[in-house]
Structure 1
């Protein structure tokens, strides 16, 4: 059996004529409702931690469970999470009738404050869903404890996060979505797990760099992509890794990291060797989620704009390259992780509405 293919439009504004303008405007100027979270810190088996940001019915980030304004906590970095989860907060989450819940995996250097996380979380929270945005290591505003960080193919980390959430709220009807890097790791996990992931109601991968070799070369070799997008990522990644180099002397090749000009150089110098790969090529080849699409059994939406500047249109999968559990939606417009729509100044409602329509058809 083959996947279904949907080429229907995402209704991008005419005054945002291409993937670059749609991507950049969505990330910087588009309107969306902002949402605040409560934070939970989860210890990992290897002695590190992950920060989960929660929202949902009964949770009120701007006051503590007793109704008072939250006290300032110096351990909580400034961001979309306003206070730590308290034991009594868990009692306020809905437990009857198998409440719907969504876990949203962010993209490279993203988090719960990212425009896509904010718009999606607010939309589903308003529908009465429980929403949690787990941060990959070092992305919550607090540096993680180990020399390692996170990467596009870390399906083991995805599994740990999903198992933690399922244990925390076993009565919920869990759905999962991932943007860009987070979507790649999620789709890889779904393909590896097959039927073992069937406890998930439905999943979605959004603006996923399905072929990391093609995407990595496109970001590294295309001059505009390298200077606009690549440099944005490289600056924050280098800063984090140089801090790690001070804590773990001799573990990181500081010279190569410092000289990295684009993502391929950075992945060659740090991401690949730190996470068990030979080089960037090996990392990209083994971590690409496109090769795992035929093994997915959970109903899954794979949404990629054909004008996504991070990914050449030519490598988008066709129906024969994914299982019949997959719906490939490939609108002509949308950019990367944005999908702006509406009249000026436009909004980001199309993406969460598209996710909701897909999830509703699977429940």
Structure 2
């Protein structure tokens, strides 16, 4: 499967993961909204918090695959859904975005409140950007129980990734994202007609247009460029103060060239990067891995190193 497109599409179509049934929980937020969580508990003293990608949810195969791998290694797992994801629309006009670290912080604090001694984070795609940005924002004030994190297929340069996905060759991906987002925005428009107008939505072809019209104004940004500039993890990697690993495949069809940083002045002292030749976007399919994909085995090794 040495094709970035095949690697990206295959797991969504053909992968099924058998893992123990999660315990659902609804977590209230300070702004009268709620986050929907999936707990996988086995009495461990350490917890892994998993963040999905754009228009994903906590029961996607890549989330459940990593949950299964970490459970086998003795971790409890908490997979959470961004606002409006997981099949339940949230209550507020806002939904989710690449820099919504306040919601991740809410989940992390809730997890630590359960009495865990150690907490690690993992994220995929947009959830990977969110994970790295969160660790950077915590910086010197980070809770000593947070041991580090790993992020796969990270569009850490949001503007560049938006440009990449605007290419004609990426139309199949953009159409799927916009199809799913249209359903959500129409539901929000019915609930908040004075704030959200979806007339002409079918004319939107790119994230630049979608984020200009919806994401930016609903979340306090002036436009798409302002949103991307403030929420890209790339410029904040140097602020991370715990071991953090970003893994981006070189054949990822979603990522721009700037999503492969190597300059120590950009990475800082604690962020590391790996750029395997193959893997696509949130793919890393490996049929010789005993049922575990390459990304899951890599994450397990990284989490083990955090404990050491």
> Smaller-chain TM-score range?
over 0.9
Asked whether the 8 Å contact 2:157–2:256 carries over to 1, the reply is: no
Asked whether the 8 Å contact 2:69–2:300 carries over to 1, the reply is: no
Distance 1:239 1:342 in 2: 35
Q: Deviations over 1:82-101 (max 9, x none)?
A: xxxxxxxxxxx44xxxx221
Q: Which residue of 1 aligns with 2:145?
A: 199
Asked whether the 8 Å contact 2:46–2:116 carries over to 1, the reply is: no
- The alignment status of 1:170 with 2:170, answered yes or no, reads no
Q: Deviations over 1:322-345 (max 9, x none)?
A: 02212211111111111011359x
Q: How does 1:320-359 map to 2 (within 5 A)?
A: 320=264, 321-343=266-288, 348-359=292-303
Q: Which residue of 1 aligns with 2:85?
A: 139
Alignment length (residue pairs): 305
Query: How far did residue 270 of structure 1 move?
Result: 0.6
Give structure 1 stretches of 5+ with no counterpart: 1-15, 58-92
Distance 1:184 1:292 in 2: 10
Distance 1:242 1:192 in 2: 33
Query: Which residue of 12, 22, 35 corresponds with 2:7?
Result: 22
Asked whether the 8 Å contact 1:340–1:347 carries over to 2, the reply is: no
Q: Which residue of 2 aligns with 1:266?
A: 210
Distance 2:111 2:197 in 1: 36
Q: Which residue of 1 aligns with 2:305?
A: 361
SS in 1 for 2:199: helix
Query: How far did residue 203 of structure 1 move?
Result: 0.6
Q: Which residue of 1 aligns with 2:191?
A: 247
> Quick one: higher RCO (CA 8 Å, sep 6+), 1 or 2?
1
Distance 1:314 1:269, change over 3 A: closer
Distance 1:107 1:45 in 2: 23
Distance 1:131 1:39 in 2: 12
Q: Which residue of 2 aligns with 1:54?
A: 39
Q: Deviations over 1:153-204 (max 9, x none)?
A: 112222222112111x223311111111111112111112112224311211
Distance 2:200 2:224 in 1: 13
Q: Deviations over 1:295-323 (max 9, x none)?
A: 10111111111111100245411142202
Pair member with larger Rg: 1
Query: How far did residue 206 of structure 1 move?
Result: 1.1
Query: How far did residue 141 of structure 1 move?
Result: 0.9
Q: Which residue of 2 aligns with 1:295?
A: 239
Q: Which residue of 2 aligns with 1:182?
A: 127
SS in 2 for 1:255: coil
Distance 1:31 1:41, change over 3 A: closer
Of 142-151 and 310-319, more deviation after overlay is shown by 310-319
Distance 1:257 1:147 in 2: 17
- The alignment status of 1:304 with 2:304, answered yes or no, reads no
Query: How far did residue 116 of structure 1 move?
Result: 0.7
Query: Which residue of 200, 220, 228 corresponds with 2:172?
Result: 228
Distance 1:358 1:148 in 2: 34
Q: Which residue of 2 aligns with 1:89?
A: none
| TM-score when normalising by structure 1 | 0.80
Query: How far did residue 31 of structure 1 move?
Result: 5.6
Distance 2:105 2:139 in 1: 13
Distance 1:120 1:238 in 2: 29
Query: How far did residue 129 of structure 1 move?
Result: 1.5
Query: How far did residue 35 of structure 1 move?
Result: 4.4
Asked whether the 8 Å contact 1:32–1:348 carries over to 2, the reply is: no
Distance 2:196 2:296 in 1: 39
